[in-house]
Amino acid sequence: MRYCPALVIMLAMCLTCIVALEAKAERHDPEAVLLLEEAARRSANIATLSAGFRQEKTLSILAQPLVSQGYMCVTRNGQSPSASLNPTHKERLLWAYTSPAPSGFIYENGQGSLWETSPANTRPAGSQEASVITALVRHILAWIRIDAKMLQQAYRLERPEKDTPVLLLHPRQQSFFARLEVVFASSFDSVRQLTFFESNGDTVRIMFTETQINQPLPERCNR
């Protein structure tokens, strides 16, 4: 089974999403901490979320970025955001690319599946694929219902401008990206844009649109 390059990029990215929490502590920008904690407070009660997204991969060797589009659907239970994922917890995340080729993954009740053509056409993930999906889900959920404690342990935080809802996060250990820029919605309850900056100058930008929080999920979120 073959998957579109966009999904391969996301799965490859996640290989370095698992951070070493025992990494040496560095001082945070106090304004950045305040912003992150406010975002955590505003997102604490998120139970469902759906959004469309546009993903752009910019490579120095290409004149135009590689563009993919899709949507995501999330259902969370009432546990704290820092609680470990567990098969008994009713977490569900659907990540769906609609172009250039329909593909994606589903994480549900502790199990990950890959799909192609349609979310109804799934296959169980292999052991390595399952580990990658679980890590990716952890990373995504950390930005849905913000886990401020985990993120402060994983990154050094910086807020470039006090009057804008933007954070720069610098990984505490070696990663595929040198820094991550997070742009929050004006309401601070969700993320509007993520941009991963690689040390070689390449970037991956994911822009979220039509974000709906604690609303009935659209029909496309069902298999």
- Residue 76 has a pLDDT of 86
DSSP the chain: ----HHHHHHHHHHTT----TTSPP-PPPHHHHHHHHHHHHHHTT--EEEEEEEEEEE-TT-SS-EEEEEEEEEE--SS-TTSPP-TTS--EEEEEEEESS-EEEEEETTEEEEEESSTTSEEE--HHHHHHHHHHHHHHHHHHTT-HHHHHHHEEEE-S-TTS-EEEEEESS--S-SEEEEEE-TTSSSEEEEEEEPTTS-EEEEEEEEEEESSPPPGGG--
Please give the pLDDT value at position 181: 95
CATH topology for 27-217? outer membrane lipoprotein receptor (LolB), chain A (2.50.20)
pTM for this predicted structure: 0.80
Query: In the chain, what are the domain boundaries?
Result: 27-217
Per-residue pLDDT 10s for the chain (223 aa) are: 444 555 545 555 554 444 443 445 568 899 999 999 999 999 999 999 999 999 999 998 888 989 999 999 999 875 434 444 444 457 899 999 999 999 999 998 888 899 998 888 889 888 888 888 887 788 788 889 898 998 999 899 999 999 999 999 999 887 778 999 999 999 999 999 999 998 888 999 999 999 999 999 999 998 6
pLDDT at position 128, please? Answer: 83
pLDDT at 14: 52
**pLDDT in the model for residue 222:** 83
